[in-house]
A and B are shown apart, each in its own frame.
Chain A
Amino acid sequence: MSELYINPGIELRNSQREIHHFRLRLAIASGFVIFMFFVLFLRFFWLQVVQHEHYSTLAEANRISIAPIVPNRGIIVDRNGVVLAHNYSAYTLEITPSKVEDIDALIDALSTVVEITPRDRRRFKKLLEESKSFESLPIRNRLSDEEIARFAANRYRFPGVDINARLFRQYPQGELFSHVVGHIGRINQRELDQLEEEGNDTNYRGTEYIGKVGLEQSYEKHLHGTTGVEEVEVDAGGRAVRTLSRKPPVSGNNIVLNLDAGLQETVYRAFGDFRGALVAIDPTNGGVLAFVSKPGFDPNLFVDGIDPQNWKELNESIDRPMVNRALAGTYPPGSTFKPYMALAALTLGKRRPEQAIRDPGYYNFGNHTFRDDKVGGHGMVDMFKSLVVSCDTYYYMLANDLGIDNIANFMTLFGFGTRSGIDLTGESQGILPSQAWKRKRFRTPEQQKWYAGETISVGIGQGYNSYTPLQLAQAMATLANDGVMYRPHIVNYVEDIVTRNRTMVEPQPLRSLDLKPEHLKVVKDALIGVNTEGTGARAFAGAPYVSAGKTGTAQVIAIKQGEKYVASRIAERYRDHALFIAYAPADAPKIAVAVLVENAGFGAATAAPIARKVMDYYMLGKKATPVKMEELDANAARH
């Protein structure tokens, strides 16, 4: 280049042209630069002015995460404050499946750090099938402090695995209340759809559990509470940086029952190894004092998803522990039907109390012989005696005289064949046979026809008759209360946990039956007679209070004509069911009971003694001592 300055000479003009040329190119390049910067400016203008709103929204959505705060579920206590369902907090080990490639390998690796039983694995597999992969699912519950420490030290090895503090539901009474209190479980798709339909799904955001059966289900709305909301600023990693706003959750309401845990336990023990059901009702207000279906099951198994093996055992057990016998099981009432038949006869004028029949031990109708269980019969039988000795022949005749539709119309008043409206779902209706019922029930004309002979067995509580133990207790309570009928209710009141306001489940009189006091007196005196000199006398011997009752025996299979029922010859599952209905004290009833013992044979032998224990417990003022909260926590830790 230095030559240019030393020897300008002839090349200068050339050079001038070259410089001109170069500057032209440079100008074009400058134009290009300006154009490109203008493009950038347009882009910035587009993003920052025209689309600003849109990107601001996106930035806010990035930054703010709205997290639901799940409310504490209300607790359930009995009438004396004994806790039946409560919450405790514990640490769980949870896996988010979407963040994990090989779940089995991960669980294998985890089991070297924290104990994972085959049951945990099975339960996790089941949860995995039922849920979405981005949900965090528990593999282990109730981690010990030591396990937490061990996992924390190894956490880096397990991406997608976290420890979370969660509230757990616990049922400290276990099996005892399984059919009343019920249990919660993970919300399934059907329940989710239903919540959505009710417009309730926002309140369940973040909630994983819902009442599945029992009071947990029927009082779900009270127990759940209102979900709170927290607006948190999060960083790109999803970590909360600070809280922007917070609307605290409102805890669910507590539920206080009419049930008495001590009474419930007494019933449970009294049943021994028998299966069956017992319902005890306060006749003056319909409050349910005891509600037992045996066998039960441990509701705690269901709380966090039951493992397949336990599920199979419960589901396939011949004892059918999952069936709520008191609510959904229906049985022929047997002779416990007789007091109402007697009352029907008096009310409809078909019998006078002193009117007696001669009982030869059988009743012939058409070409069929209906047998009384006492060979040779009871001799002369009036109404009082018919109940005290439980004479079948008396009621065969009576049923024939009344006719099926008169029987059905009268029995409807006592709630037979009608759902009681108790505060539990899944109640059976039972069968109160009538001509209309039969027409509806069957298809072909000859099936639909009511035969007069069928009325005869209905009279002693057999035939098509089929009622729930709850209905039997409800009818007994109505009779004890002189025809004033209340809707049975397990819950006494719902307590607002914040304001302590109590919402009573008011005793609702369903109806007051138009019964003559003198008719009621006849039947009630006879029922007292049952417990003093009749079929219930042995069970109630020496009771310091006056009670009234009626035994019953319900056939499971039909006995062939002329054949005698011998319990020992019949397979256990085909033996008769034992029944007993009772109330006490006789002059001002405070408790009415219906007992059903499956395959236990004669009602007086097994059912009546159970009723006696219930009465003793309730009448003699023995009350349960409430379980202390500390003991519950200790239980929970052991569980």
Chain B
Amino acid sequence: MPMPRAIRRISHALTAHVDAQLLMAILLLMGVSLLAIFSGSNQSLARVSSQIVNMLVALGVMYTFAYVPPNFLLRIALPLYVAGVVLLVCVALFGDIVNGARRWLHVGVTRIQPSEIMKIAVPLMLAWYFDRYEATLKLKNYLIATILLALPVALIVRQPDLGTAVLVLAGGAYVLFLAGLSWRIIIGVAVAGCASLPFLWSAMHDYQRQRILTLIDPTQDPLGTGYHTIQSTIAVGSGGLFGKGWLQGTQTHLDFIPERTTDFIFAVFAEEWGLLGNMVLLFLFLHVIARGMVITANAPTLFTRLFGGALTLTFFTYAFVNMGMVSGILPVVGVPLPLVSYGGTSLVTICLGMGILMSIQTHKKLVQS
């Protein structure tokens, strides 16, 4: 029976680089996303279908990158990083100011946000750097890596975009940590960091300080900066154990929650699905992270190990920062809930990372077999 065999071979080729476990968790999270977007947009099918399109594009990107061998990434690491830094400098010089921050750059007909590229480019660059000097890693290398990390982070902080800066910094720091940065330095930096908090405070913008003050006591400005936190906390808390039921959230449907389909979508979900829903969501995120960890642990090269680990931990950071912000334990920063929040950019970035993880996993298998 030649035909079935040919079909089997083709289907094998089409799915060879797709990691079923990751894909399953991603699709479930996307399902959660559509439910919550439908509710948060006051049952707008237009919004849901628009997000479905985003998802299909993102899944396409993921699929594509699952077929890109890690070697290719190794080769583009340096050019991508350099290009990213140049673009960030351009933003600082000629960028558009939107909502008081200079984040966007006009490129022909469209605008791009170069800081978004750095979420991938920075860990990629550091992984490439450590991989290159693998045999002779010295303190000097960590120092250079730190500078490579600090440069774009500083440019992004200047925009100012604290949320993205924290995520980029975290991505690079994960690489440093996984690359075996000595504990003494880690502890030293942590202590120095704490000591420099007062200086950091004085260097911050007013709105950034306000967000942190609001976190400590949201009620001091209930109609201003505290409003988002108060309303989203009420939404989560009033959800209770089982939630108010899908489409039944009063905080959601009476417009009390801001940014209901984007940054604050978790408040919508938590209000309607309760603690049980939250546990399912946490489990799905954990599943993605655990799968990423397993892939990373079995990755064949230092580059793939470091890059895969950073991607996985960055994913975790997205999820943690977003849910922490919505439930009122972290300041309000513009971080979407990965795979759930409405919006194409973050979805594509996350799926791109997922595609790379799949690529790391499946190319290793191919090499071994």
Contact = CB atoms under 8 A, between A and B. Distances in A.
B327 A43 contact: yes
A37 B301 CA distance: 29
Contact of B178 (A26, A48, A49, A60): A26
- Grouping DSSP codes into helix (H, G, I), strand (E, B) and loop, the A interface class, with mixed when no group exceeds half, is helix
B302 A18 contact: yes
Interface residues on A, range: 35 or more
A63 to B, nearest CB: 5
Interface stretch (A167-175, A234-242, A398-406): A234-242
A18 B367 CA distance: 20
Nearest to A23: B297
B254 A47 contact: no
A59 B270 CA distance: 14
Given A37-B320, A48-B275, A22 B234 contact: no
Given A45-B275, A62-B250, A1 B303 contact: yes
Given A48-B237, A52-B238, A41 B178 contact: no
A1 B282 contact: no
A4 B241 CA distance: 52
Contacts of A56: 237-238, 240
Which 4 residue pairs are nearest across A and B when measured between Cβ atoms? A55-B237, A1-B301, A59-B238, A236-B255
B250 A59 contact: yes
A63 B254 contact: yes
B142 interface: no
14 contacts: A4-B300, A29-B309, A30-B289, A33-B316, A44-B270, A45-B275, A47-B237, A48-B270, A52-B240, A55-B233, A56-B238, A60-B250, A62-B256, A63-B254
A55 B238 contact: yes
A320 to B, nearest CB: 51
A51 to B, nearest CB: 5
A296 to B, nearest CB: 49
Interface of B: 70-71, 74, 131, 135, 174, 177-178, 180, 231, 233-241, 250-251, 254-256, 270, 274-275, 278-279, 282, 285-286, 289-290, 293, 296-297, 300-305, 309, 313, 316, 320, 323-324, 327-329, 367
A134 interface: no
A332 to B, nearest CB: 66
Contacts of A19: 305
Q: Which of B237, B270, B293 is packed against the most chain A CB atoms within 10 Å?
A: B237
A357 to B, nearest CB: 89
A46 to B, nearest CB: 8
Contact of B289 (A21, A33, A54): A33
Contacts of A235: 254-256
A44 B275 contact: yes
Interface string A226-253: 0000000111110001000000000000
A55 B302 CA distance: 49
A25 interface: yes
Q: Which of B74, B135, B256, B309 is packed against the most chain A CB atoms within 10 Å?
A: B256
Interface in A201-259: 233-237, 241
Contacts of B323: 40
Given A22-B180, A58-B238, A59-B250, A36 B320 contact: yes
Given A1-B300, A55-B237, A29 B313 contact: yes
A33 B256 contact: no
Contacts of B303: 1
A7 interface: no
A2 interface: yes
A49 B286 CA distance: 22
Given A1-B70, A26-B309, A29-B313, A48 B320 contact: no
A3 to B, nearest CB: 9
Nearest to B296: A26
A52 B237 CA distance: 5
A5 interface: yes
A54 B279 CA distance: 21
B329 to A, nearest CB: 6
Contacts of B70: 1
Contacts of A237: 255
A49 B293 contact: no
Contacts of A4: 300-301
A330 to B, nearest CB: 58
A55 B234 contact: yes
Contacts of A29: 174, 177-178, 293, 309, 313
B254 A241 contact: yes
Interface string A57-77: 011101100000000000000
Contact of B234 (A2, A5, A37, A58): A58
Contacts of B131: 1
Contacts of B327: 40, 43-44, 47
Nearest to A48: B275
B254 A234 contact: yes
A599 B229 CA distance: 75
Contact of B274 (A48, A63, A234): A48
Nearest to A4: B301
Nearest to B242: A48
A2 B293 CA distance: 22
Contacts of B74: 1
Q: Which of A29, A36, A60 is packed against the most chain B CB atoms within 10 Å?
A: A29
B201 to A, nearest CB: 24
A21 B301 CA distance: 13
A25 B180 contact: yes
A56 B249 CA distance: 11
Contacts of A55: 233-234, 236-238
A5 B365 CA distance: 13
A11 B301 CA distance: 13
B251 A40 contact: no
Contact of B367 (A5, A45, A51): A5
Contacts of B233: 47, 55
A233 B71 contact: no
A236 B256 contact: yes
A40 B239 CA distance: 16
Interface string A525-554: 000000000000000000000000000000
A217 B348 CA distance: 72
A233 B302 CA distance: 59
